[in-house]
Structure 1
Amino acid sequence: MGVKTIFTVCISFLIVYITVTADAVSESKYVMKINRTNSDNKNSANLNNNENGNENDSNKRSFLPPDLYQITMALEVLPKGLCKNDSRAVLEAVISREKWALKIFDSSPKFPVGMLYGSYYQLGNFDECISVQGKLPDYDRKIQGKYCLADVTLDNEKENRIARSHGYYHNRVSSSRNVFNSTLRWAICVPSSCNSQEIEAFLGELFSNAVSYPIFTIEAPEINCYYEKYIPLTTLEIVFGCFAGIFVVFVVLATIYHVLRVYRSTRSINYSISNQNKPNTYQEILLSFSLVQNIRNLLRVKSSDLNLNCICGIRFLSMFLIVSSHSLLFVIVGPVLNEDFQIEAVQKPQNAILLNHPLLVDTFLLISGFLMCRLLLLELEKRNGKVNVLALYIGRYLRLTPSYFVVIALYCTFLVRFDSGPLWNKVISTEQNRCMTSWWANILYINNYVNTDNICMFQSWYLSADTQLFVLAPLIIYPLWKWPRIGETLLALSTLIAAIIPFVITFVYDLDPTTLTFPAEMIDITTNPYFAFAYIKTHMRAIAYCIGLVAGYIVHKLQSSNTKLSNSLVRISWILATIFGLSAVFSITVFYLPEHEFSTLESAAYSSLHKIAWSVSIGWVIIACLTDNSGPVKKFLSWSLFAPLSRLTYSAYLINGLIELHAYGTVRSAVYMSVHNMASITIAHFLLTFTAAFILCILLESPLHNLERMILRGGPRQQQKQQQIVDNAKL
């Protein structure tokens, strides 16, 4: 941001917002004159009948200190009404040293702090403002504080030109769009009777008197404002609340039943629905909801029949890094004291793994493709090709959707009531409105192509992409089993097309090589053009899934034929996988360096090649682990602790967005970014996410999964086996 512009804005705010302290007001000779001159006129008529510049009001303004005089003059632009009258009442109360009135001024920032250091949020004191409840003795209205964040947007073209001259980023990036924050978010505390138009008019008048030329626009939409008020429950909230309450009561009763009745009959709570002495159907349904049952299932450490334990480690570690990248992203786009820290951090290679967070999501797509191919090929061999694909699709839908739907319902109902804060209304209300509009696209798993401008749950695109690829996968896997040559050709062709698509689209539309983290473009990631056009699209993500299919097919062929890889091939593969993986991760740093102006061709090549390199690297790790060619890597990834943690990844995926939105919406002051602080925030968000995931899993996901397995167990044995594919191929 330009130094001259910032200096001008600072001076403007200094003129506008300096507030006299209580002692200064009481001791001012001007106030003494006001009290002497107008002692007989301080009543409610003064507040409601001075619109035409009567003599007493004119005299009063002439004796006001400059700061209050500026505010008084700015009030003249307001239309007749409650806002104008209440604001004048506040001024009277300030003169009278009323504590509640002084709170209104005290909670608003007086002078911008740290703007030259990248602090663009001047938040004031949110809780002090909304706590205001005041009334003048001679005024018949109760005045309540209303907190608003006004967006003061500076001239983007001028600011980007100045930023480029400072060399923060290379010319290609900073010239193509606004990657720098050109909006100041300035808190103001006003009477609750003031609407957004009146606040904008008031601030506009103040700024126009202070600045000789226009350098900004001012917006204070109602969604940026908050004051305490009663909001009755909606019908949807009542229905959802009743459902949630009944469900929780049922879980409690099931747990009590498990502990009392089963313990009394067996003298042990280690009683499972899989025991030989099985309960009847009704008891089994009840036990499906038992916390004891579901916690034990969650913590169970069991060796996989197919030696897939290493997948647990990859799943958990990837989710940990995804949660970390989400937490850091929400910090840097929110109120911070030192934005320069982020500008420097993105140019450091050690931060590349978090900057390249799309690759972490690709890891889950690769695992999904691998498990789908490996397990479905086994079922095709066992059933001689008689696999009910429709049952496979239905099983996946039933496996994923109930928990997903409940979280969406939470977004649509009670989420907005959970808390409050300077950014709460704007962030949470916006998210709620999107979910109310697009919930149906989510549960149909098409929201990465439909209603992308109103996507509900910013992370939900993954489920849609994964599900769409899951539906298409049998079209490749079945030919691999039935006609291997044709299937291999089809798989190779699909992988080639999936690799070419990102290159072509990136080149034709001159896109970024991947998601580049610029705070101004990430404030609302769902409105980011790259996010909606490329990041969430299945065709831009399919390469990881296809390479997962290839890895699954290779493992299937090797294990079916008991083929052993030669030591030289294993060593070469590990070397190449390491080079590919490190190159894919750390090469992103060059796109942030100011001296490196990348071309469209370079961007397109990276868009495709880094996905391929990363997927090949992770694919080899899985192949090596399952063919006993990984040594200590397999031992680490198969660590028993990873098994229960990996079972929480789906619930963690669903709940993490809520954790991040809550932290972002309730922040009361700007964060100082440092390695220590960012690490602390990351660990805290990880613990919160997995704690909430644990609760969601044992209360909702596990009980519904148990019921689903009961239903399928009553059907053909083929469906029971196919359920294993669904269970393993989920997030």
Structure 2
Amino acid sequence: MLFETIFMHTYYIGILMPGMAIQKKLLTGLASKTLREKQYGFLRNFHNTDFFFALSGLLLTYTTLKFLRKNGGKFNFLQFAINIYLRFYPTIFGVILLYYLLPLVDHGPFWHHMDQHFVYACRHQLISSMLSYNFYDIDLEFLQNHSFCNLATWWANSCFHLMLLSPLILLPLYRFKSPIISIFFLIISIIVGCLISISHLIFYGSPYANQWSKMDSFIYESLYTIYYTWPFIHHISAFIFGILVGYLILDYPKIYLGGKIGECILTIVFVTLSIVGFQWTHTLHKTPSNLAKLLTTSASDLEIYLNITIGKLLWCSGFMWIFYLCCTKREFWSKLFNFPSLRPLYNLSLQIYLINLIPAIWLTFRTKDTIDFDDMFMFQQTICNIFITTILSFLVHLLFDKPVQNILRILLIK
């Protein structure tokens, strides 16, 4: 999933952002194909990051509930908040410093686009980025001209805020004695999260995604779709879905319908739900090739609302079920998804997610001439991006994240 995100970011930086200035074929090239052709559906999966929110909820629940049960329910919110902040923001600070250094590493006729659209924002948003509110103070005109300081940080900000609010779910969950009440409480919380995620759209009535026929301004109102997904309120349901799975892993590790056959049936069902969620989402955001159809037809508001609320849960369900199987020591699944060679990268997942835009930006804007963005070119860019991102992630982990975690460990021992 992380590699798919890198792939998506590499494509979008090159073909749908300021990189358009260096494309030989804009309207007939890859930029237009990604919006309408089936094989590029993975680029239109707007819910892919909800998997990371669900996984964060799962991991947080597993560790926090075990801690509460071990310590008799004692909980220090201030210590909890500081610990979570220091898990995210030393890395974010290190990544912002890389943006400050980016103008020094290359040059070229298109290099000023990189500085204008990506580095300028970091010079003006350092404090708001470190205080985690830069994606809530949004100016569409600024976004159009200068983007934001490290766009990938939106996920870390939202996840940080969801984790800060997680005690509102986890503490009652710890105190409930009845499993029926616990599961009912979580299901109601997921439903409330779904309603909150679409309340902004309903209240303002703004067009979403590819509802081109309802837009008065393509530029501004299509940008609304992008920043609409950034605040944490739009990912509450996926996060609590992860909390539900984490709770089931702890208290009900043997959910299967009578044995191996039942386990296989559930696996087929949940994986199918993920496939359905993916197909639904990328088809919904497919742009018609016919200009007249593009300007006159749009997805209904009801379908948009259903996709935002249910589509993301469908997409996450198969992955969460596989995590459930692996975490409850199902031997077959544990071996199937056990990749020892990738273990060194497990601790670098946050760094990889936050840094992968930097190599994509550098590889795109360092060019000295216009480029034909085709599949082979983007594939080569992605391979280079993964390699450079891994190296930079390791350096940021050593220089910023690891020292802070070591200090925290020493203080906790004392």
Distance 1:702 1:363, change over 3 A: same
Using the size of structure 1 for normalisation, the TM-score is 0.49
1:331 aligns with 2:14: yes
Q: Deviations over 1:603-656 (max 9, x none)?
A: 22222221010122221111122224473x432322112211122222222322
Letter in 1 for 2:192: I
- Percent identity over the alignment? 23
Q: Deviations over 1:67-109 (max 9, x none)?
A: xxxxxxxxxxxxxxxxxxxxxxxxxxxxxxxxxxxxxxxxxxx
Which structure: greater strand fraction?
1
Alpha-carbon contact 1:348-1:589 (below 8 Å) kept = no
1:447 aligns with 2:134: yes
Map 1:568-583 to 2 at 5 A. Answer: 568-583=261-276
Give the SS at the match of 1:528: helix
Q: Deviations over 1:382-414 (max 9, x none)?
A: 111113232121112223222322332443x43
Give the SS at the match of 1:575: helix
* Structure index of larger Rg: 1
Q: Deviations over 1:405-431 (max 9, x none)?
A: 2332443x4333332222322332443
Q: Partner of 2:358 in structure 1?
A: 658
Report the Cα distance in structure 2 between the residues aligned to 1:511 and 1:351, rounded to whole angstroms. 23
Map 1:486-525 to 2 at 5 A. Answer: 487-507=182-202, 509-513=205-209
Q: Partner of 2:278 in structure 1?
A: 585
Report the Cα distance in structure 1 between the residues aligned to 2:75 and 2:117, rounded to whole angstroms. 44
Map 1:162-181 to 2 at 5 A. Answer: none
> Which of 373, 376, 382 is the aligned partner of 2:70?
382
Q: Partner of 2:2 in structure 1?
A: 319
Alpha-carbon contact 1:367-1:548 (below 8 Å) kept = yes
Which structure: greater helix fraction?
2
Q: Partner of 1:644 in structure 2?
A: 344
Letter in 1 for 2:161: Q
Report the Cα distance in structure 2 between the residues aligned to 1:539 and 1:420, rounded to whole angstroms. 40
> Which of 80, 89, 94 is the aligned partner of 1:401?
89
Q: Partner of 2:105 in structure 1?
A: 418
Letter in 1 for 2:165: L
Report the Cα distance in structure 2 between the residues aligned to 1:367 and 1:515, rounded to whole angstroms. 31
Map 1:543-558 to 2 at 5 A. Answer: 543-558=237-252
Report the Cα distance in structure 1 between the residues aligned to 2:64 and 2:91, rounded to whole angstroms. 25
Alpha-carbon contact 1:369-1:547 (below 8 Å) kept = yes
Letter in 1 for 2:353: Y
Q: Partner of 1:355 in structure 2?
A: 44
Report the Cα distance in structure 2 between the residues aligned to 1:636 and 1:522, rounded to whole angstroms. 46
Letter in 2 for 1:512: Y
Give how far 1:459 is off: 1.2
Letter in 2 for 1:426: H
1:695 aligns with 2:395: yes
Alpha-carbon contact 2:108-2:366 (below 8 Å) kept = yes
Report the Cα distance in structure 1 between the residues aligned to 2:23 and 2:264, rounded to whole angstroms. 47
Give how far 1:450 is off: 2.6
Alpha-carbon contact 1:478-1:487 (below 8 Å) kept = no
Report the Cα distance in structure 2 between the residues aligned to 1:680 and 1:432, rounded to whole angstroms. 25
1:478 aligns with 2:178: no
Report the Cα distance in structure 2 between the residues aligned to 1:564 and 1:490, rounded to whole angstroms. 22
Q: Deviations over 1:586-618 (max 9, x none)?
A: 231353252674222222222222101012222
Distance 1:640 1:615, change over 3 A: same
Letter in 1 for 2:271: T
Distance 1:582 1:658, change over 3 A: same
Give how far 1:504 is off: 4.4
Report the Cα distance in structure 2 between the residues aligned to 1:683 and 1:574, rounded to whole angstroms. 32
Letter in 2 for 1:351: Y
Cα RMSD for the two superposed structures = 2.9
Alpha-carbon contact 1:323-1:686 (below 8 Å) kept = yes
> Which of 419, 427, 432 is the aligned partner of 2:114?
427
Give how far 1:489 is off: 4.0
Give the SS at the match of 1:673: coil
Total equivalences in the alignment? 386
Report the Cα distance in structure 2 between the residues aligned to 1:646 and 1:328, rounded to whole angstroms. 24
Letter in 2 for 1:324: F
Q: Partner of 1:170 in structure 2?
A: none
Alpha-carbon contact 1:347-1:590 (below 8 Å) kept = no
Distance 1:565 1:388, change over 3 A: farther
Alpha-carbon contact 2:210-2:286 (below 8 Å) kept = no
Unaligned 5+ runs, structure 2: 143-147
Report the Cα distance in structure 2 between the residues aligned to 1:660 and 1:602, rounded to whole angstroms. 33
Alpha-carbon contact 1:373-1:549 (below 8 Å) kept = yes
Alpha-carbon contact 2:211-2:299 (below 8 Å) kept = no
Unaligned 5+ runs, structure 1: 1-317, 715-731
Report the Cα distance in structure 2 between the residues aligned to 1:535 and 1:472, rounded to whole angstroms. 18
Q: Partner of 1:605 in structure 2?
A: 306
Letter in 2 for 1:685: N
Alpha-carbon contact 2:198-2:309 (below 8 Å) kept = yes
Letter in 2 for 1:581: S
1:680 aligns with 2:380: yes
Alpha-carbon contact 2:44-2:286 (below 8 Å) kept = no
Give how far 1:350 is off: 3.1
Q: Partner of 1:52 in structure 2?
A: none
Give how far 1:514 is off: 7.9
Q: Partner of 2:323 in structure 1?
A: 622
Report the Cα distance in structure 2 between the residues aligned to 1:686 and 1:378, rounded to whole angstroms. 35
